[in-house]
Amino acid sequence: MSRDEVARRAALSQIHDRYPYWNNVPHRGLMVDGRPAMTRIDPDKVGGFVLVTVRDPLIAYAGDPTSHIGELLEDAEVIGQSGMFTSITGSYRGTRITVVSGGSGSSEAELLLYDFMEFSPAHTYLRVGGSGGIGTDVKPGDIVISSGVVREEGMTRAYVDRAYPAASHYEVVAAMAEAADTLGADYHVGVTLSVDSDFVGVGRPGVGGYLQPWNIEMLATYNRAGVLNGDRESAAVVTLAALFGFRGGSICSVADNVITNAAFSHGAGHARAIEVALEGCVLLDRMDKKRTAAGKRHWLPSMGL
């Protein structure tokens, strides 16, 4: 779905008519030197697949994530650099992939997603990062492929009511699970929790051991509900992708598990998560070609990989 198709939704024009500042705001965001201001990307150089990463000190990246993952791509080049985000594009086994790195959390993810979704031809957005284990069977070094995300963060609620489901696109889930299985990864498919607070918001003590009664129930509540892991960005990627007609998903490595008392392991499983993400994009590319050849709107298992 293109931005123009989103703009043609009938109810949107009704909102525009009621908004007194509609003619006072830049309808396509801020620009700097002819490029989207937040990321400074060259939209024409963005691949069909965008991997959203974070400069995360809890992951053993060798420098910026774009540099780290860029070493796995052919003909990688920087296509955007701003004070907040770095973006590169390259090829992985014939599939054009863009990797963007920035800071942590849904609010920062919103900024980069706007630029890419408004201006670029990308159709698939995948959160690739680290997480903490919540599920009883989830161990450090495992990988979680999100089938859906609990929206406990605040940014996406500005877009749509909390009742709106943050469901990963089924094609993304299928491709990532197939890639993980083929590569022999220790993986799970299930629900991810996204939060704003990385401490008390997930039941981890704050400064001086600070906690409130409602904090201490968070992890147990979601463990009982079968949630597998927690991060800070998956809700943003999956929710905004769904709202604007793109494919969204998340694949995260797991570094610890407070529920099971599994100790933190720096960067555990993350190299494999990156490998699965890249291979999954190759599979999605094949699935897209199968769907196009069949003249269908959606990929079906009968089409094969």
pTM of the model: 0.97
Q: What CATH homologous superfamily does 3-303 map to?
A: Nucleoside phosphorylase domain (3.40.50.1580)
DSSP reduced 3-state for 235: helix
**What pLDDT is recorded for position 9?**
86
Distance CA 238, CA 124 (A): 10
**What pLDDT is recorded for position 147?**
98
Q: What is the pLDDT along the chain (305 residues), one digit of tens a residue?
A: 667 788 888 888 899 999 999 999 998 999 999 999 999 999 999 999 999 999 998 887 778 999 999 999 999 999 999 989 999 999 999 999 999 999 999 999 999 999 999 999 999 999 999 999 999 999 999 999 999 999 999 999 999 999 999 999 999 999 999 999 999 999 999 999 999 999 999 989 999 999 999 999 999 999 999 999 999 999 999 999 999 999 999 999 999 999 999 999 999 999 999 999 999 999 999 999 999 999 999 999 999 99
Both tokens of 300, joined, read 């079906």
CB neighbours of 232 closer than 8 A, spacing ≥ 6?
54, 104, 105, 106, 153, 194, 195, 196, 198
**What pLDDT is recorded for position 78?**
98
Both tokens of 21, joined, read 């500042």
Distance CA 45, CA 242 (A): 23
DSSP type of residue 264: P
Distance CA 50, CA 151 (A): 21
**What pLDDT is recorded for position 41?**
98
DSSP type of residue 262: B
Rounded-to-10 torsion of CA 116, 42, 92, 141: -50
**What pLDDT is recorded for position 10?**
87
**What pLDDT is recorded for position 7?**
80
Secondary structure (DSSP) of the chain: --HHHHHT-HHHHHHHHH-TTGGGS-TT--EETTEETTT---GGG--SEEEEEE--TTS--SSSHHHHHHTTSEEEEEEEE-SS-EEEEEEETTEEEEEEEE-SSHHHHHHHHHHHHHH----EEEEEEEEEE-STT--TT-EEEEEEEEE-SSGGGGTS-TTS-EEPPHHHHHHHHHHHHHTT--EEEEEEEE-S-SSGGGT---GGG---TTTTTHHHHHHHTT--EEESSHHHHHHHHHHTT-EEEEEEEEEEETTTTBPP-TTTTHHHHHHHHHHHHHHHHHHHHHHHHHT-SS--GGG--
